[in-house]
Chain A
């Protein structure tokens, strides 16, 4: 739905910057400041001129470094609550490195606190930032809560020569080291994602456990770390696949965040079932319910690029057969991205690469190509042969993430912590286990496919912070914010390209707060203004308006309880811009109109004894529209020569003509816009609790204000008021 309203939004943006530049961040819940601890001319103060990159508008190396730090800090600042400013004292200095090995940086809590007012457990260490948030004051005013120092020489001769930091803010790091990702990870440790108990000895810091320890649960012994002896903790730290996190917030989200990637063959029956896959480092990630289609063998010439006619190393020769299907390709000779790109160019919707050597499980598909837009997986040689043997019978399959099997959890749904044995083979218990899937921010490795989102459904870090005592709100995460709009307004999960597009509308503002705020507003409004909503939700509104007018004693024609299921019905399977959405929408409209006119409420209001003219006139009267002669006649003509309106199909068509009348669209637009603020954001009727007075005063206020501003939702501050309202925010946190 990204093609719709950019022109409108640009106009709105231009007219509203001044108004909103005076306001504070719409979602800011904690202020995290970067305290520049560098000397003049170095680190954050390095004056070396650089070109802006990836949303980082800095024009000196030092400024870009500082921007990246602040951007990472803001990600947590937008999703965690604290009335006390969190200070990160940071600097750049020479850290250990060689040409091929380097310390990128370090970070962690500056101090730890116990037995303060507001602590959720006595006798328990908390990081300074969390202690301040819980107690509500800065326990040690003037001191930093987090320390951070990063390698000033990285990328220079003799120091990590091949991997300088990527300083862009857009996560478009390619094969480089995304500084923002590293910073979000390391700041997380400083905010509390760490134990201060020694995992190598089991000894607690000064005899007291860390808040983190209260949720480290060994499912083999049935004990948390606070209930263990030093020796038991020492053993638990290397109890691989048994050390878990038993916090309720994390466990409650594992089934929505973690999954298992699969190839599910739907038919023919002899080979139907789930197949283990290796996922690709390029192209879109798998999703749920995923991609379903016929599986077709890709064919290409036997040539210098690849001797097999099934290796897809050259442009495919059976493009017509592949288009719209899942391409099956043999591994070998050329790169995976070459194969997938050739299949994509032929119109394939996904790719399955069959291994050319025996072995299981199938490894992943390496490589990088930003132009690949279809998903790909690898299956074993044996599974490939099984599928190939049935291609003649017609194979239908799905590539998907199976959330019924959360990857990296124990039988009780608890996420596994990293407890390698021996301990020196990896990191510490202050990370998730590496078996979690999809990759998580707080695994010990920095995976290239991590997003900058820290909340479910992408990541469990925010949930862990909830467990240890942080309060916060997921809506501060821009990707979550956009996704929620798809759910609230379009009644579906986002398509990957749409999510990326709208998220980028916000993220590309970088650190520009006024820009972020206006983009949040405009992105939000875009969902009401979208073709998809106008043709589904707003059409439902107009069906009710045309059939019944406004409800008795109310300025609106439809309740939320009526609106929601009808909108879901009319939007079923419709994703504007994807597939033959127009045909699907038309079919949905026809089915909905027919169903609508056969409901008892409608048949009671419009008996079949009415003549076509009486029926049509009644509808236009309810709608408040005075039709032109041609409009009226067109609706009446749906009944042909009939003298009554017993023809339900004709009733449906006539009703639809009225509901889709252009005058009605314009007449009700602002009224519907206001009503959808309540339906979309607050999920209630305007006169439902907690509305003061349980009346339409609030609705009328906003409608009046919107009309007074000529329908300009930005000037009226209508959308902004709803998205920053406590009632809206409380849907997603505190």
Chain B
């Protein structure tokens, strides 16, 4: 991953995203169709993974996973698209993030030691968290954040869910994330 790939997200991102989106719609529909075929015929076929082929590897009521190359991607079985977070998932993520990213000093105790030094046990606060998401186009993006707002923005969830007031438009494609550039 080189620097210019990040430029994509900040400069010509709209144009590129439009192009990428169009390509992805086609690709994802193709993947979905192939998955559907695979699901229908799975009982009669060897289910061993095949690189560079799309293959269904799981199923549920509304979701399934595709193996694309060496990677698995959860998709919506009806649309074939990598789906956004459900409200339930967003809530689940938010609850966990709130616990992990806490920069409040409320209740933290300063301790003065005999040598005159002072310490504070941070009690697990002021931690940095590494986070990742698979975008709709299948790209993996990763980042490190230290506050709930940043985490919420990264995952594209309502900042109020992580306990902060919404005071600006959050962007799922913040410039802090690393993105794999277009490949063609």
Interface residues, chain A, with chain B CB atoms under 8 Å away: 95-117, 125, 128, 131, 135, 139-140, 147, 157-158, 160-163, 174-175, 177, 182, 185-186, 189, 194, 196, 198-200, 205-206, 261, 277-281, 285, 331-337, 357, 359, 361-367, 378, 407, 418, 420, 422-428, 430-431, 434-439, 443-449
Contacts and interface: CB of A to CB of B under 8 A. Distances in A.
A162 B184 contact: no
A431 B144 contact: yes
Contacts of A446: 130, 142-144, 178
B95 to A, nearest CB: 7
Contact of B71 (A175, A364, A407, A424): A175
Interface string B100-144: 110101001010010111111110101111111110001011111
B38 interface: no
A418 B168 CA distance: 18
Contact of A425 (B71, B95, B146, B176): B176
Given A113-B118, A446-B178, A281 B1 contact: yes
B176 A418 contact: yes
Contact of A95 (B5, B65, B74, B100): B100
A333 B97 CA distance: 42
14 contacts: A96-B96, A101-B131, A111-B121, A117-B117, A162-B140, A261-B3, A333-B184, A378-B4, A418-B176, A422-B167, A425-B153, A426-B145, A427-B146, A428-B145
B131 to A, nearest CB: 5
Interface string B34-50: 00000000000000000
A434 B6 contact: yes
B143 A445 contact: yes
Interface of B: 1-8, 11-12, 15-16, 58, 63, 65, 70-74, 82-83, 85, 89, 92-93, 95-97, 100-101, 103, 105, 108, 110, 113, 115-122, 124, 126-134, 138, 140-147, 149-150, 152-153, 155, 159, 164, 167-168, 170-171, 174-178, 180-184
Chain B interface main SS type:
mixed
B69 to A, nearest CB: 8
Contact of A364 (B5, B65, B93, B170): B5
A278 B146 contact: no
Contacts, number: 302
Given A102-B132, A449-B2, A363 B8 contact: yes
A363 B12 contact: yes
Contacts of B15: 357, 359
Nearest to A98: B89
B97 to A, nearest CB: 6
Nearest to A367: B183
A364 B176 contact: no
A445 B122 CA distance: 25
B38 to A, nearest CB: 17
Contact of B1 (A99, A110, A361, A449): A449
Contact of B7 (A109, A363, A418, A449): A363
A106 B176 contact: no
In the complex, the 7 A-B pairs of residues with the closest C-beta atoms, listed nearest first: A96-B96, A366-B181, A364-B4, A424-B149, A426-B176, A99-B74, A445-B178
A101 B153 contact: no
A362 B164 CA distance: 37
Given A160-B132, A430-B128, A98 B2 contact: no
